[in-house]
Amino acid sequence: MTHQDHALPIPVAMPMDQAAALCETYFTVWSNVFMRGGLRSGERFLVHGGSSGIGTTAIQLAHHFGARVFATAGSDEKCAACTTLGAERAINYREQDFVEILRAEGGANLILDMVGGDYLPRNVSALADDGRLVQIAFLQGPKVALNFAQMMMRRLTLTGSTLRPQSDAAKAAIADELATHVWPLLDAGRIGPVMDSEFALNEAAAAHSRMESSAHIGKIVLKLRG
């Protein structure tokens, strides 16, 4: 069940598999990148996991609203997908150091991270002065040694959120912003979810295997038949 103030219409001419892939991804990206992170046109934005559902959404939205977009991904194929969506540069983290690349560009004004672990101090190093790091998950764990002196000396902002525990009023505010700023873009077909694959509900185990393989690009959905 969804609270009535959180519901948004299916975008014009969008099939149901794509519509099903919108909700949590777009709420998460908009609230963290734009509302919490305050991304502005012309800023350098780095998103980790650029080929994920969150990453592909963040790249499209940040590019549309005028940011310079950088993304990390784990293969050349995934990096190519990121640049197709609007990333200025996609960094294969298995072969390149995103810290060196971002520092050469002047540092990231905003980083969206779901990796955590040893990425946390590396993210801080990759930030420009007055930069912001927004944390939305910890795939490599939430605990790490971090020198907070950099936060003070370089005026950094370290923040983060998770969507589910937020109040109905907070989620309604996100929905209102999406309706104003993002849904018209979806209606016009200027942005949209990147779809990897669709599985029947009784193939949920196969869908999880696909997701855990890290081979996918974009969203995986389950279809309820009948």
Percentage of residues in the chain with pLDDT exceeding 70? 100
Q: What local confidence, expressed as pLDDT, does residue 226 receive?
A: 55
Confidence (pTM): 0.96
Inside any domain, residue 70 = yes
Domain that holds residue 85: 13-160
How many domains, in total, are found in the chain? Answer: 1
What integer pLDDT is reported at residue 2 of this predicted model?
85
115 within a domain of the structure (yes/no): yes
Q: What is the pLDDT of residues 17-55, one digit of tens each?
A: 999 999 999 999 999 999 999 999 999 999 999 999 999
DSSP 3-state percent helix, strand, coil across the chain (nearest 5): 40, 20, 40
Domain annotation covers residue 77: yes
CATH label of the domain that carries residue 50: 3.40.50.720
Which among 29, 20, 84 has a CA at the least distance from the CA of 54?
Answer: 29
Is residue 125 situated within a structural domain?
A: yes
Domain assignment present for residue 123? The answer is yes
> How many distinct helices (H) and strands (E) make up the chain?
10, 8
Note whether residue 191 is domain-resident.
no
